[in-house]
Structure 1
Amino acid sequence: MLKIVLLCAAGMSTSMLVKKMQEAAKAKGLEAEIAAYPESQLAKVGPTADVILLGPQIRFALKKITAEAEKFNVPVDVIPPADYGMMNGVKVLALAEKIAAAKK
Protein backbone atom coordinates (compact mmCIF):
# COMPACT_ATOMS: atom_id res chain seq x y z
CA MET A 1 0.00 0.00 0.00
CA LEU A 2 1.24 3.46 -0.94
CA LYS A 3 0.81 6.06 1.81
CA ILE A 4 0.69 9.59 0.44
CA VAL A 5 0.58 12.63 2.73
CA LEU A 6 -0.39 16.03 1.36
CA LEU A 7 0.61 19.01 3.45
CA CYS A 8 -0.84 22.47 3.12
CA ALA A 9 -1.46 25.57 5.20
CA ALA A 10 -4.61 24.33 6.94
CA GLY A 11 -5.55 21.01 5.34
CA MET A 12 -8.77 22.39 3.86
CA SER A 13 -8.55 22.89 0.09
CA THR A 14 -6.13 20.01 -0.24
CA SER A 15 -8.79 17.62 1.02
CA MET A 16 -10.65 18.13 -2.27
CA LEU A 17 -7.54 17.01 -4.14
CA VAL A 18 -7.26 13.97 -1.86
CA LYS A 19 -10.73 12.88 -2.97
CA LYS A 20 -9.74 13.20 -6.64
CA MET A 21 -6.54 11.24 -6.01
CA GLN A 22 -8.46 8.51 -4.18
CA GLU A 23 -10.83 8.23 -7.16
CA ALA A 24 -7.84 7.99 -9.52
CA ALA A 25 -6.19 5.30 -7.38
CA LYS A 26 -9.41 3.28 -7.24
CA ALA A 27 -9.86 3.56 -11.02
CA LYS A 28 -6.40 2.09 -11.62
CA GLY A 29 -6.66 -0.55 -8.90
CA LEU A 30 -3.92 1.00 -6.78
CA GLU A 31 -4.08 0.39 -3.06
CA ALA A 32 -3.28 3.77 -1.56
CA GLU A 33 -3.89 5.69 1.63
CA ILE A 34 -4.06 9.39 0.82
CA ALA A 35 -4.71 12.13 3.36
CA ALA A 36 -4.24 15.88 3.79
CA TYR A 37 -2.89 17.56 6.89
CA PRO A 38 -1.76 21.03 7.91
CA GLU A 39 2.00 21.53 7.75
CA SER A 40 2.09 21.62 11.56
CA GLN A 41 1.28 17.87 11.63
CA LEU A 42 4.48 16.83 9.78
CA ALA A 43 6.18 15.28 12.82
CA LYS A 44 3.06 13.23 13.57
CA VAL A 45 2.19 11.96 10.06
CA GLY A 46 5.53 12.12 8.26
CA PRO A 47 7.23 9.04 9.74
CA THR A 48 4.62 6.63 8.34
CA ALA A 49 4.37 8.23 4.87
CA ASP A 50 5.90 6.88 1.66
CA VAL A 51 5.68 10.28 -0.05
CA ILE A 52 4.95 13.81 1.13
CA LEU A 53 3.56 16.32 -1.33
CA LEU A 54 3.24 20.01 -0.53
CA GLY A 55 0.45 22.26 -1.68
CA PRO A 56 1.79 25.12 -3.80
CA GLN A 57 0.74 27.61 -1.12
CA ILE A 58 3.48 26.30 1.20
CA ARG A 59 6.19 25.60 -1.39
CA PHE A 60 8.30 28.23 0.40
CA ALA A 61 8.70 25.64 3.19
CA LEU A 62 10.08 22.91 0.88
CA LYS A 63 13.65 23.13 2.22
CA LYS A 64 12.56 23.00 5.87
CA ILE A 65 10.06 20.16 5.34
CA THR A 66 12.51 18.17 3.23
CA ALA A 67 15.15 18.43 5.98
CA GLU A 68 12.63 17.20 8.56
CA ALA A 69 11.36 14.39 6.31
CA GLU A 70 14.92 13.17 5.66
CA LYS A 71 14.92 12.01 9.29
CA PHE A 72 12.14 9.59 8.32
CA ASN A 73 13.66 8.77 4.90
CA VAL A 74 10.55 10.14 3.16
CA PRO A 75 10.83 12.04 -0.15
CA VAL A 76 9.12 15.42 -0.50
CA ASP A 77 8.03 17.41 -3.55
CA VAL A 78 5.69 20.28 -4.41
CA ILE A 79 2.47 19.68 -6.30
CA PRO A 80 2.63 21.64 -9.58
CA PRO A 81 0.36 24.69 -9.24
CA ALA A 82 -1.56 23.91 -12.45
CA ASP A 83 -2.34 20.36 -11.30
CA TYR A 84 -3.34 21.65 -7.87
CA GLY A 85 -5.52 24.40 -9.31
CA MET A 86 -7.28 21.99 -11.67
CA MET A 87 -7.59 19.39 -8.87
CA ASN A 88 -5.99 16.89 -11.27
CA GLY A 89 -5.94 13.81 -9.07
CA VAL A 90 -4.62 11.60 -11.86
CA LYS A 91 -1.50 13.72 -12.42
CA VAL A 92 -0.79 14.29 -8.73
CA LEU A 93 -1.19 10.57 -8.02
CA ALA A 94 1.21 9.81 -10.88
CA LEU A 95 3.72 12.26 -9.36
CA ALA A 96 3.47 10.52 -5.98
CA GLU A 97 3.93 7.10 -7.58
CA LYS A 98 6.98 8.30 -9.53
CA ILE A 99 8.58 9.72 -6.39
CA ALA A 100 7.85 6.56 -4.39
CA ALA A 101 9.29 4.36 -7.14
CA ALA A 102 12.49 6.46 -7.25
CA LYS A 103 12.92 6.01 -3.49
CA LYS A 104 13.04 2.21 -3.71
Structure 2
Amino acid sequence: MIKILISCGAGMSSSFLCQKLQKACKEAGLENEYSFDFFPINVAGIADGAKKVEEYDVTMVCPHLRLWIKELVEKKSPNKPIYVLPPQMYGTMIFEEVIADAEDIIKGFKESGLNPYHFPGEDQVLKIRRKCAYRNIKK
Protein backbone atom coordinates (compact mmCIF):
# COMPACT_ATOMS: atom_id res chain seq x y z
CA MET A 1 0.00 0.00 0.00
CA ILE A 2 1.21 3.48 -0.84
CA LYS A 3 0.50 5.95 1.95
CA ILE A 4 0.11 9.52 0.68
CA LEU A 5 0.01 12.59 2.90
CA ILE A 6 -1.67 15.69 1.47
CA SER A 7 -0.73 18.86 3.28
CA CYS A 8 -1.38 22.57 3.22
CA GLY A 9 -0.64 25.29 5.71
CA ALA A 10 -3.55 24.92 8.13
CA GLY A 11 -5.36 21.76 6.95
CA MET A 12 -8.38 23.46 5.37
CA SER A 13 -7.86 22.74 1.67
CA SER A 14 -5.87 19.55 2.24
CA SER A 15 -8.67 18.01 4.30
CA PHE A 16 -11.17 18.70 1.53
CA LEU A 17 -8.84 17.39 -1.18
CA CYS A 18 -7.97 14.34 0.88
CA GLN A 19 -11.66 13.46 1.21
CA LYS A 20 -12.04 13.82 -2.56
CA LEU A 21 -9.11 11.47 -3.17
CA GLN A 22 -10.31 8.93 -0.59
CA LYS A 23 -13.74 8.84 -2.22
CA ALA A 24 -12.26 8.35 -5.70
CA CYS A 25 -9.96 5.65 -4.36
CA LYS A 26 -12.89 3.75 -2.86
CA GLU A 27 -14.97 4.15 -6.02
CA ALA A 28 -12.08 2.71 -8.05
CA GLY A 29 -11.78 -0.23 -5.64
CA LEU A 30 -8.17 0.70 -4.83
CA GLU A 31 -8.42 1.34 -1.09
CA ASN A 32 -6.06 -1.62 -0.45
CA GLU A 33 -3.44 -0.07 -2.75
CA TYR A 34 -3.50 3.61 -1.72
CA SER A 35 -4.37 5.56 1.37
CA PHE A 36 -4.69 9.31 1.82
CA ASP A 37 -4.41 11.44 4.89
CA PHE A 38 -4.06 15.18 5.49
CA PHE A 39 -2.02 17.16 7.95
CA PRO A 40 -1.51 20.89 8.55
CA ILE A 41 2.26 20.63 8.21
CA ASN A 42 2.98 24.35 8.43
CA VAL A 43 0.95 24.81 11.63
CA ALA A 44 2.66 21.79 13.17
CA GLY A 45 6.12 23.30 12.79
CA ILE A 46 9.40 21.99 11.42
CA ALA A 47 10.08 19.24 14.00
CA ASP A 48 6.54 17.79 14.11
CA GLY A 49 6.14 18.22 10.37
CA ALA A 50 9.32 16.22 9.73
CA LYS A 51 8.12 13.45 12.07
CA LYS A 52 4.79 13.24 10.25
CA VAL A 53 6.47 13.04 6.83
CA GLU A 54 8.33 9.91 7.96
CA GLU A 55 5.01 8.08 8.51
CA TYR A 56 4.11 8.21 4.79
CA ASP A 57 5.57 6.99 1.52
CA VAL A 58 5.21 10.44 -0.02
CA THR A 59 4.06 13.86 1.15
CA MET A 60 2.44 16.17 -1.39
CA VAL A 61 2.07 19.81 -0.33
CA CYS A 62 0.36 22.91 -1.64
CA PRO A 63 2.47 25.26 -3.76
CA HIS A 64 2.56 28.18 -1.35
CA LEU A 65 4.57 26.09 1.14
CA ARG A 66 7.52 25.64 -1.23
CA LEU A 67 9.91 27.85 0.76
CA TRP A 68 8.83 26.40 4.10
CA ILE A 69 9.34 22.85 2.77
CA LYS A 70 12.80 23.78 1.57
CA GLU A 71 13.60 24.90 5.13
CA LEU A 72 12.15 21.70 6.62
CA VAL A 73 14.31 19.58 4.31
CA GLU A 74 17.44 21.61 5.06
CA LYS A 75 16.95 21.39 8.83
CA LYS A 76 15.59 17.85 9.23
CA SER A 77 16.67 15.86 6.12
CA PRO A 78 13.61 13.58 6.00
CA ASN A 79 14.09 10.10 4.52
CA LYS A 80 10.78 10.22 2.67
CA PRO A 81 10.03 12.33 -0.41
CA ILE A 82 8.23 15.64 -0.18
CA TYR A 83 6.73 17.02 -3.37
CA VAL A 84 5.39 20.52 -3.88
CA LEU A 85 2.37 20.17 -6.16
CA PRO A 86 2.00 22.39 -9.22
CA PRO A 87 -0.73 25.00 -8.61
CA GLN A 88 -3.22 23.68 -11.17
CA MET A 89 -2.71 20.11 -10.07
CA TYR A 90 -3.29 21.10 -6.44
CA GLY A 91 -6.49 22.85 -7.47
CA THR A 92 -7.93 19.85 -9.33
CA MET A 93 -6.41 16.79 -7.59
CA ILE A 94 -7.51 14.26 -10.19
CA PHE A 95 -7.17 10.87 -8.52
CA GLU A 96 -5.48 8.98 -11.38
CA GLU A 97 -3.00 11.81 -11.94
CA VAL A 98 -2.14 12.13 -8.25
CA ILE A 99 -1.42 8.43 -7.80
CA ALA A 100 0.66 8.32 -11.00
CA ASP A 101 2.80 11.20 -9.74
CA ALA A 102 3.01 9.64 -6.26
CA GLU A 103 4.38 6.40 -7.70
CA ASP A 104 6.88 8.28 -9.88
CA ILE A 105 7.97 10.55 -7.03
CA ILE A 106 8.69 7.57 -4.78
CA LYS A 107 10.71 5.89 -7.55
CA GLY A 108 12.53 9.09 -8.48
CA PHE A 109 13.39 9.86 -4.86
CA LYS A 110 14.83 6.37 -4.36
CA GLU A 111 17.04 6.88 -7.42
CA SER A 112 18.10 10.49 -6.80
CA GLY A 113 17.64 11.27 -3.10
CA LEU A 114 16.42 14.71 -4.24
CA ASN A 115 14.26 16.35 -1.57
CA PRO A 116 12.05 18.23 -1.99
CA TYR A 117 11.61 16.10 -5.06
CA HIS A 118 10.80 17.60 -8.45
CA PHE A 119 10.56 16.14 -11.92
CA PRO A 120 13.14 17.08 -14.60
CA GLY A 121 12.62 20.65 -15.77
CA GLU A 122 10.14 21.43 -12.98
CA ASP A 123 12.36 23.00 -10.35
CA GLN A 124 10.27 26.22 -10.34
CA VAL A 125 6.87 24.95 -9.23
CA LEU A 126 4.95 28.18 -9.77
CA LYS A 127 5.79 28.09 -13.48
CA ILE A 128 4.33 24.60 -13.98
CA ARG A 129 0.96 24.66 -15.75
CA ARG A 130 0.07 20.98 -15.89
CA LYS A 131 -2.97 19.35 -14.27
CA CYS A 132 -1.93 15.85 -15.24
CA ALA A 133 0.78 13.55 -13.95
CA TYR A 134 4.28 14.25 -15.21
CA ARG A 135 4.33 10.93 -17.11
CA ASN A 136 1.17 11.98 -18.98
CA ILE A 137 2.51 15.20 -20.43
CA LYS A 138 2.30 15.12 -24.20
CA LYS A 139 5.80 15.74 -25.44
TM-score for both structures, normalised by structure 2: 0.62
- Of structures 1 and 2, the one with the larger relative CO (CA 8 A, separation 6+) is 1
1:60/1:103 Cα in 2 relative to 1: closer, same or farther (>3 Å)?
A: closer
Equivalent residue number for residue 8 of structure 1: 8
Q: What CA distance in whole angstroms lies between the structure 1 residues aligned with 2:55 and 2:61?
A: 16
Identity %: 37
RMSD value, Cα: 2.2
2:43 counterpart of 1:36: no
Equivalent residue number for residue 95 of structure 1: 101
1:24/1:94 Cα in 2 relative to 1: closer, same or farther (>3 Å)?
A: farther
Q: What CA distance in whole angstroms lies between the structure 2 residues aligned with 1:3 and 1:53?
A: 11
Larger radius of gyration: 2
Extract unaligned runs of 5+ from structure 2. 111-139
TM-score for both structures, normalised by structure 1: 0.79
Which runs of at least 4 in structure 1 moved beyond 4 Å after TM superposition?
none
Extract unaligned runs of 5+ from structure 1. none
